[in-house]
Chain A
Amino acid sequence: MATDVDIAEAQLSHKRWLTAPALLCITLFGMVPLITVMSYSLMQPSEYGGVVPKFSPDAYISLLFQRDVFDDALTFSPDYLIIFARTVAFGAATTLLCLLIGFPTAYFMATRSPDTRNRWVLLITIPFWSNLLVRTIAIMFIIRDEGLINMIMLSLDLINAPVGIIFTDFAIVLGLIYSFLPFMILPIYAALEKVDFRLAEAGFDLYASRFQVLWRIIIPLAMPGIITGCVLVFIPTFGAYVTPLLLGGGRHMMIGDLIALQFGSSRNWPLGSAFATVLMGFVLLALYIQARKAMGVSHG
């Protein structure tokens, strides 16, 4: 026994160098930029973009306060907070709606015969075959005032004048749902596919109604997939940039647009870095909660 373990360990250490490319990639393209962003957030902005390597907490202060141009007095300014709150709200709404649409879809897929299931998975992944930008612009063509939806409703005399859908919060959430729905469907489908549906039969036999079978048996067993799906939708909405820009018309910024603005025309790299750092902290917190919930689920 002891020799077996020794041999296994020796083989393991012998092959440890195989992880080197991955570690190099993570360090070079993950850790280094991360540390750069975090340190930029504590420096002063340079006039033409970039940073001056002098310590300054200003970026973080200006997340919540505005410095008066004349007397340097700090006054509370909720502008950025509102954008941040909007981002969280859009993310939560997108996640919830994706769950409401995604769960029945995944359930439908998982209850098909094994051969047809793969066909459904393929159909779900079709949107990934084309670029997100192209797909978002396509949505614009559908929901704009002269777009498909308004044309149909006008020709059916349902409305007299085009309904303004594009450049609204609704349009943004619609775009986000469209972009992220597969990330909700696929993990839930993967979890449901493993569920033994004979358990549903057992529940039905033990006086549970259809709803109770769903609520007390199917959903708890699919919970790991549901949590993964929610994380995979909620977190990327924080980085959404193209969708709110195109469908919201830039009027309703999300935090991704704000960060892009700081590194672009505003030339305030420290502020952009501070946004990015706070956002990352928020995402880590969300992941931590998810991990704890997932552990709670697997341990009953």
Chain B
Amino acid sequence: MTEFQSSATSGSAVDMLGIVKDFDTFRAVDDVTLKIQPNEFFTLLGPSGCGKTTLLRLMAGFETPTTGSILLGTKDISRLPPNHRPINTVFQSYALFPHMTVAENIGFGLKMLGRSRSEIKVTVDEMLRLVRLEGRGDSLVTRLSGGQQQRVALARGLAPRPQILLLDEPLSALDLKLRQSMQIELKRLQAETGITFVFVTHDQEEALTMSDRIAVMNAGKVLQVGSSRDIYEHPADRFVAGFIGETNFLQGDLEAVDGMSGTVRLKNGVRVSAGLSEEAPRHGAITIVIRPEHIEITDVGAAGSIAATVATVVYFGTDTHIHTHLADGTPVIIRQQNRRDGSRAPQTNALIGLVLPLGASQVLRD
């Protein structure tokens, strides 16, 4: 364990500076600048084809950037081959060596680094304990279940004590139950080893629950970097807001700006206060975003409320989703936690008032 910490505290993080990657005429990564902190669980989140896997392969060394550079600590590694980078990868397909045992797979990296047989054995045993596969060292990897193969792949990536561990959608092949337990397992491993994890996924829930920070990507660009809470509650633009969780968009005009918040006059004349990020516009027609669970329901006509008609009420067990629309037809979804008496849920076709609490809504970047 001590070696893990020493490598982690040496301050090595990844700096990606103006990375562009072209495949023929297709630009997979478009001017990405990212700073990944040491000991961080960092997630690249985006739909398939957004360039997140290409970014990961650039860090691993399987691709070289068309322009831009990748720094590991202070060292430029952009043009180093993968075997000269202290970075390991857990592949989506696991890519375990089928002709080797579990222990041989885990020890492969150390063997290639020329470590002694005894040192390899000690580390492999430690890794088997870490991923809870004690006593399975001599099994053939082809005899293991999907979840066990996944853990061997993790142990293989961690065994050489890399400065960065890259994980390329490693949970996508597992069923829901196993995926959820592996999410917790991954968090534990990251905390115990202190190695920087860079995790790639298209699953927003996975990203939110596991990451220290998330970079949301689309069409080769990084749209927003922030903590799970940041990204969820203060999405920077329409794509981020729509990609992560359910959300409501409302049109309006920005009337007054006061530091980090502004007064927005919605189309139906109601004025609400909405958060303003640094990149948000300071005047004119804007869109605000508000999460369904942040909207409060009140009586129609109450001061500062927006009138809405209930279209459908869907019961989800822990909560109820109320689909409504405003007078101009804008759909708005409200999510309400269910109470024991069940009395608060409105009826279909009822006219209700919606309240957007202070600070719950956010003005989107163009």
Contacts and interface: CB of A to CB of B under 8 A. Distances in A.
Nearest to B108: A206
Given A204-B83, A205-B82, A207-B83, A212 B112 contact: yes
Contacts of B91: 198, 201-202
Given A207-B109, A209-B83, A202 B99 contact: no
B156 interface: yes
Most chain B CB atoms below 10 A, which of A199, A204, A207: A207
B4 interface: no
Interface in B34-77: 60-62
Contacts of A204: 62, 81-83
Interface string B78-105: 0001110001110101011111110000
A50 interface: no
Given A220-B99, A300-B140, A201 B112 contact: no
B112 A207 contact: yes
A212 B295 CA distance: 60
B112 A206 contact: yes
B235 interface: no
Interface size classification for chain B: 20 to 34
Interface residues of A, number: 19
A206 B109 CA distance: 5
Majority SS of interface residues in chain A?
Answer: helix
B289 to A, nearest CB: 40
A207 B95 contact: no
B83 A205 contact: yes
A162 B91 CA distance: 59
B112 A199 contact: no
Given A205-B83, A207-B160, A209-B83, A300 B99 contact: yes
A124 interface: no
Nearest to A207: B112
A66 to B, nearest CB: 52
Interface in B245-284: none
Given A198-B91, A199-B95, A201-B95, A206 B160 contact: yes
Contacts of A198: 91, 93, 95
Interface in A79-104: none
B113 interface: yes
Contact of B112 (A208, A221, A297, A300): A208
B164 to A, nearest CB: 12
A115 interface: no
A269 B361 CA distance: 101
Contacts of A217: 97
Contacts of A202: 89, 91, 95-97
A203 interface: yes
Contact of A205 (B60, B98, B113): B60
Interface of B: 60-62, 81-83, 87-89, 91, 93, 95-101, 108-109, 112-113, 140, 156, 160
Interface of A: 196, 198-199, 201-209, 212, 216-217, 220-221, 297, 300
Given A202-B95, A204-B82, A207-B113, 11 more contacts: A199-B95, A202-B91, A202-B96, A204-B81, A205-B62, A205-B82, A206-B88, A207-B112, A208-B108, A220-B99, A221-B99
5 contacts: A196-B95, A199-B95, A204-B82, A206-B83, A207-B160
